[in-house]
Amino acid sequence: MKVISRRFFFFLIPFLSLLNSPPEYPVDGFQYTGIRRLERLRLRLAGKLSGRRVPVAGGRKSIADITLHLTDYPDSLLLTIPEPDSALQKQIARLFAGRNSNYSLALLDITPGQPIRAAALRSGLQYQPGSVGKLAIAAGLFTELRRLFPESVERRRKFLRNRMIVADKWIVSDHHGVPLFNLQNHKVAFRPIRLGDVFSFYEWLDHMLSAISNAAASTVWKECILMRAFADNYPPTLQEEKTYFEETPRRELQNIALSVVNDPLRKMGIAEPDWKLGSFFTWTGKKIIPSGGSHGTPRGLLTFLIRLEQGKVVDEWSSLELKRLLYMTERRIRYASSPHLTKSAVYFKSGSLYKCKQEPGFKCGKYKGNVANYMNSVAIVEKPDGRVYLVALMSNVLKINSAVEHQTLATYIDKILNR
């Protein structure tokens, strides 16, 4: 393929070398992906590098221990979310009784060896999904990867590890910091992505999902468009890329942009009313490609998690890679930060959007808007005792700290499922 002749791949350590790695997830995660911050975490866990930010007990799985739970489950039984289990539904209803009606939830207990149980609360209501929408970009990337390398998942992995992308105008602007680690001198930094920064595709994905980087999200989405447009000739030269975005009609650009991130959702059986990503995450991206609205429902997000566990987010390899990326978050926040989940493996993505206006007696704060206060959480939780459940929680409750509220609800939901 022309993509090979136009960009050389540097030598990488064979996958079999992982067999000789220590059991902690960050070390074999680094060998497999080349994501440099994972080596920093390994050194911290080993006591060879100072720093407080290390994975909690439930965040130290080996890469080999991360598996999909529903690949052998009959497809016909999960084409749609099952009807609520009466006992579980009553407990969830009791939890939210008296709470604001702007909470919505979809929940599925998939504990191995036990009947699947569902519960829901206004699961069809639409919310602004915020950064949860970045999961659609990840699905779009894995879809385009399969187009390029349909017969070889190893070539896809090598491509993610070795394709280096320079930060350009598409990152403007973003205040979210990302972790940076120098493998040679072990220097550590945490700052927003800057023009000229260079990361591998795996690292751009990691920044998008773990560090909630809007700059990374727009960059990955832009690359998905180029992968679709140039096909076997991807990656284009800088001049070819410039010409493509300048000369392609804006309506055509918009159609391709929407297609690469939304078509994979439709293929999973997620209808447009349940999830649509319509707008880039940076000002420059929105300027180059006309933007539209984005929305999601707990029902749509839970369906995504089900397809992930079924190995149907593109295919089984892509689903497992995405699940691994959702596991290695830099730190646990919001829903995932519940102390009740410290010993549990949590595969997590969250998104928020809040807006304030002047109001007597009200003080605006982070995640505490009085005009809009969206907070969205999706999580796969694997308990030490073998219990597994999927949850999508969305809210727009004004004037409360929604991050703390989601953390609190995570504790209550976990307790319900522990009964």
3-state secondary structure 237-252: CHHHHHHHHHHCCHHH
Rounded Cα distance, 156 and 319, in Å: 13
- CB 352, CB 374: distance < 8 Å: yes
Burial of 83 (0-12, 13-18, 19+ CB in 10 A): exposed
Q: What pLDDT sits at residue 292?
A: 86
Cα dist from 368 to 72, 95, 169, 338, 363, whole Å:
43, 22, 31, 19, 9
- Residue 394, classed as helix, strand or coil, is strand
Q: What pLDDT sits at residue 20?
A: 39
Q: What pLDDT sits at residue 215?
A: 97
Q: What pLDDT sits at residue 110?
A: 97
Classify domain 85-126+333-417 by CATH architecture. Answer: 2-Layer Sandwich (3.30)
Rounded Cα distance, 31 and 23, in Å: 12
Domain segments of the chain: what residues?
2-65+128-296, 85-126+333-417
Sign of the alpha-carbon torsion through 382, 383, 389, 392? negative
Q: Residues in the chain with pLDDT < 50?
A: 1-23
Q: What pLDDT sits at residue 27?
A: 66
- Residue 124, classed as helix, strand or coil, is coil
Task: Determine the residue type at 81.
Answer: I
254-293: burial string, b at 16+ Cβ within 10 Å, e else: eebbbbbbbebbeebbbeeebbbbbbbbbebbeebbeeee
Q: What pLDDT sits at residue 74?
A: 86
Q: What pLDDT sits at residue 25?
A: 56
> Which phi-psi region, left, alpha or beta, contains residue 219 (left: φ > 0; alpha: ψ -120 to 50)?
alpha
pLDDT per residue as tens digits for the range 216-259: 999 999 999 999 999 999 999 999 999 999 999 999 999 999 99
Does residue 235 have a cis peptide bond before it, meaning omega lies within 30 degrees of 0?
yes
Q: What is the pTM of this model?
A: 0.92
Q: What pLDDT sits at residue 3?
A: 34
Rounded Cα distance, 415 and 419, in Å: 7
Cα dist from 148 to 145, 156, 251, 382, whole Å:
5, 8, 25, 33
Q: What pLDDT sits at residue 329?
A: 80
